[in-house]
Structure 1
Amino acid sequence: MHEKPQPMLPSPGGPRLTRPPSGRPGPLCPRMFSRSLLRRRRFYGLLAFFGLALYYFRVLASPRPVPGYESYFNQELENAADAASKEEKVRYVHFKTRSYSRADEAFSSLLLYAHLAYASDRAYVFDPLEPAPLGKYQMWWSQTKVVPLTAIMDMGKNWDAKDSKLKPVSSLGWHQICPRLKRTVFKISPQDLSQANYNPKTLMDTWARELKNSNAHCVEVVGELFTDRVLGYPLIQPLFDTISTSPILKHYTFSYKVYDVASTIVPKSSIVDGAPTVNNTVVLQAHLPPQPLNSRTSDDPCGDLASLGAPFRTFAHLRGLPTVFELPGAPSYYAQRCNPTVSELVGRLGALRTAFPSSSSSGSSKLKHVYVIDGPMGLTPVEWSHRKRWFEELRFELTKQGWNSVRWARAGAKAEAVAIDMEVAASAEAFIGNGFSDFSSNVVLLRTVKGKSKGTIRFV
């Protein structure tokens, strides 16, 4: 019986242990397989990353118009393309500040920065409105939706030959004129504000010289120059004198649609049968405009103002205006002037009607109608419901006091509605506003430019 031969084991270090057999089918080397898979995963991962980054920066980072404003959006892009095609040596400046969702905030900022651009002999680059998202928070991947500012204002109309080269352009198409790499950036620091002692007129003159002396073709100023502290400066009259006499007030006006709608609400004074007629309407703005949900610091903005010791907004604390706000003020005083009760509003309106000149024919006060402009722009459904009940109570009490009519600007929550309200308030016979708002500050300026007396203005 023969024994089965034992298989010969390979010797240590032999080629059979260190080299796989050639020409023989078998599984791939595990080490080679893992390296190849890792390379492919890295490649596809990087490809996906660059694809998403390109999509975000090229698509999501590019704002799109709110539905219904496409024609204005495209026109602003075309205007920028036309300006880029011209060989005129125009210098531009863009002030990169926070975005605005309401026309009254944007208008207040626009007048200041547009004049600064004009004073520095540069064309002004303006930004669109960015309405707040419907939800409380806007996701990072959501594309920005904007309302072109030309939907509300005639930007740079009525320019004469001397100033035609300074026609403003929209920041939506500014990249066609001034690519990012060709821009010279100026940054506003807290030291810049403190060195000027937060004086708005001093800051205006200083930066006008700085920008005018710069040889850069494209300038971008980053940061807020006219902060809340600057606009709360006690001696605001010099800035008011500068803005109220600036050419920008005839260049930057509301669109014809805004004027057209406003004239149907409160007709302007006119001559009928040789006798002057007036609109005999007082416009009331009682509440602070609501802040977007995703930017509200608290549910008590009046309490926030009291904790800061804030004065009336910008031009609302001009000297010579009736019913000024006296600083310092206790929290109860802030509550009374910032969020008045219905009875307090009835008293304010009655005092204004008594003090107002009477009609020469009847001997009664010219003021017979009240138009309330605390509309729904930015209100949540719950806030909107509370506001309706508030108005019904106010109308009931005013009717008992003998006012002929009490109307409410509750229709329309679009951006144009706020601009229409501002024009209505500027054209009315009298105005009672909330002095802590940009809206009231703008109305003070517009009424002064229209030649209306400061005595026709009151604050709640």
Structure 2
Amino acid sequence: MRSREKRPAMLPQPGTSRLTKSPKLESGSVLPRIFSRSLLRRRRFYVILGFFILVLYYLRIFESSSQSLPGYETLFEEEINYALDIGTTDDHVKYLHFKVSPTTRVDALFSKLLLHAHLAHVTNRAYVFDPLEPKSKEPSSWSRKKVQPLSSVLSLGKDWDAKGDVLQPVSSLGWHYVCPPRQRKYLPVSLEDLGKVGSDPSTLMSNWINKIVKQDARCVEIVGEPFPDSVLESKAIKGLFDTISSSPVMKRYTFRHNIQAAASNILPVATQPSLIPTANNTVVLHSYIPTSGLDDPCLDLAIRGAPFRTFAHLKGIPTPFEIPANRQYYQQRCSPTVDQIIGRLGVARTSLPALRHVYVVDGPLGMTPEQWVERKRWFEELRFELTTKYSWESVRWAAAGAKSESVAIDMELASRSHAYVGNGFTDFSSNVVLLRVARGLPMGSLRFL
């Protein structure tokens, strides 16, 4: 018999199944692959990578996606851990958070923080505070926001008396895990609510109290600022001021111990006036108003017809600012000349003869290098005039650094000194009024430029 010859493999014809089915090969032959293993690995890698990117994006838009600024990691972790601990160990604690625009300035948030904390206190809820959030130098939609824990500036419960009458506040850094969005009761701020109270800030506070006590939800979040500037500019601010200045939160929400210690080193307490600057013979001067991105903030105030800031326009404070006023008057009170400042300091010393020393603070930051040079020139002129012509024994300048702690030290100094002469158009001055009155210092020790 003739041996069978192996027929050559025929090419697949169109329409046959051999185009889609793998050919049967003899043992030991290598299966030809349309997709190599390396290509399959790459595709699998890209699928996993895409899923990972989606997870990162979700974390980026999630409220708690933030990290600590360098140097604040310990406080950052402490705030988160306390919020988580109290949230898991005490189911009876109810929370109140305020969804408002973040800020990096402790002077800008201080008065509003006390209003928020008081509202939480009288409704028997733990106040949920937000961290300071400096503006990023390199903003990116993918980068996590960097924040400064608020406990780096304020005493927020760690050293409070456990039997105190105010619930210890918690940080939103950890509260977002305790109260995820689906578990919150949202109370949006509406123009209709603001319209009902007219221009009475104390009525607005009462309305919010009544609204919150009716809520059974454990987690309540007010969306928007419940105490807008338009209401706080009212001439009827006295009622709200009396409420806040006598509230237990004023005794609790104090500056951190290291900030108070720094202020004590600069202005120690003394019983007798002397050649050494002390809290008993020094006037703190604050004249600088931050530009806030405006070419001329004083002109902007004049155009709006704005009064002094919040608690700075209380009746009873010497040197009030009456509106309406022309632009020239705004300029004199908002950005006074050296001669005008000297005159105001002289009036203060006439009323308080114990004054011997001047301590200049700048409050909030934001000056360019050119502005710093001009500021230094301004200070040297002021110091020369006061010490050589008007018999002030010393004039010092804080020259605040770049941290929020520096502004807090300035506020602490201004709230404990013998007298304060400030710029009434700033949050800084409004805070100082509240702090000084809450500490029992007389209104007569306050002056505005």
Instruction: Place the TM-score, normalised by the shorter chain, in its bin.
Output: 0.7 to 0.9
Choose which of 337, 343, 367 in structure 2 pairs with 1:341: 337
CA distance in 1, matches of 2:279, 2:14: 108
Q: Does residue 419 of structure 2 align to residue 416 of structure 1? A: no
User: Any conservation in 2 of the 1:369–1:404 contact (CA below 8 Å)?
Assistant: yes
Matches within 5 A, 1:7-22: none
CA distance in 2, matches of 1:342, 1:152: 32
Q: Does residue 339 of structure 2 align to residue 351 of structure 1? A: no
Matches within 5 A, 1:21-420: 50-58=51-59, 62-133=65-136, 135=137, 138-156=139-157, 157-159=159-161, 161=163, 163=165, 166-270=167-271, 279-291=280-292, 296=293, 298-354=294-350, 356-357=351-352, 365-374=353-362, 377-399=365-387, 400-420=389-409
1:162 deviation in Å? Answer: 6.5
For residues 321-380 of structure 1, give each alpha carbon's deviation from its aligned partner in whole angstroms, at most 9, with x where no partner exists.
0110010011111111111111111111112112x24xxxxxxx2111000001672222
User: Any conservation in 1 of the 2:184–2:221 contact (CA below 8 Å)?
Assistant: yes
Partner amino acid for 1:450?
R
Choose which of 429, 432, 444 in structure 2 pairs with 1:455: 444
Partner amino acid for 1:84?
G
User: Any conservation in 1 of the 2:283–2:417 contact (CA below 8 Å)?
Assistant: yes
How many matched pairs?
A: 416
For residues 171-217 of structure 1, give each alpha carbon's deviation from its aligned partner in whole angstroms, at most 9, with x where no partner exists.
01002321221111110011111111142111111111111111111
User: Any conservation in 1 of the 2:118–2:247 contact (CA below 8 Å)?
Assistant: yes
CA distance in 2, matches of 1:117, 1:170: 14
CA distance in 1, matches of 2:151, 2:119: 20
1:118 deviation in Å? Answer: 0.8
What percentage of aligned pairs have identical amino acids? 50
1:253 deviation in Å? Answer: 1.0
CA distance in 2, matches of 1:67, 1:112: 30
The alpha-carbon distance between structure 1 residues 144 and 233, as it changes in their structure 2 partners (threshold 3 A), is: same
CA distance in 2, matches of 1:254, 1:278: 17
Partner amino acid for 1:416?
E
Partner amino acid for 1:116?
L
Partner amino acid for 2:93?
V
CA distance in 2, matches of 1:290, 1:43: 54
CA distance in 2, matches of 1:278, 1:109: 27
CA distance in 1, matches of 2:111, 2:105: 10
Partner amino acid for 1:440?
S
CA distance in 2, matches of 1:346, 1:124: 43
CA distance in 1, matches of 2:402, 2:13: 83
Residue 27 of structure 1: aligned partner: none
Partner amino acid for 2:106?
A
CA distance in 1, matches of 2:243, 2:328: 35
CA distance in 2, matches of 1:305, 1:45: 56
RMSD of aligned Cα (Å): 2.7
In structure 1, the gaps of 5 or more residues are: 1-14, 24-31, 358-364
Q: Does residue 441 of structure 2 align to residue 445 of structure 1? A: no
In structure 2, the gaps of 5 or more residues are: 1-11, 24-33
Residue 28 of structure 1: aligned partner: none
CA distance in 2, matches of 1:153, 1:182: 29
User: Any conservation in 1 of the 2:165–2:248 contact (CA below 8 Å)?
Assistant: no
The alpha-carbon distance between structure 1 residues 88 and 386, as it changes in their structure 2 partners (threshold 3 A), is: same
Partner amino acid for 1:410?
A
Moved more, 40-49 or 121-130: 40-49
Partner amino acid for 1:405?
S
State the secondary structure of the residue aligned to 1:174.
helix
For residues 291-342 of structure 1, give each alpha carbon's deviation from its aligned partner in whole angstroms, at most 9, with x where no partner exists.
3xxxx3x221111111111111111010010110010011111111111111
State the secondary structure of the residue aligned to 1:216.
coil
1:159 deviation in Å? Answer: 4.5
Moved more, 74-83 or 54-63: 54-63
CA distance in 1, matches of 2:301, 2:140: 30
CA distance in 2, matches of 1:196, 1:46: 56
For residues 356-406 of structure 1, give each alpha carbon's deviation from its aligned partner in whole angstroms, at most 9, with x where no partner exists.
24xxxxxxx211100000167222222222211111111112122211111
The alpha-carbon distance between structure 1 residues 56 and 388, as it changes in their structure 2 partners (threshold 3 A), is: farther
For residues 143-178 of structure 1, give each alpha carbon's deviation from its aligned partner in whole angstroms, at most 9, with x where no partner exists.
3111111111111353563646x2110001002321
CA distance in 2, matches of 1:388, 1:288: 15
CA distance in 2, matches of 1:346, 1:368: 14
The alpha-carbon distance between structure 1 residues 401 and 451, as it changes in their structure 2 partners (threshold 3 A), is: same
Name the TM-score, length of structure 1 as normaliser. 0.84
1:418 deviation in Å? Answer: 0.8
1:419 deviation in Å? Answer: 0.9
For residues 24-50 of structure 1, give each alpha carbon's deviation from its aligned partner in whole angstroms, at most 9, with x where no partner exists.
xxxxxxxx99xxx9xx99998876554
CA distance in 2, matches of 1:41, 1:195: 63
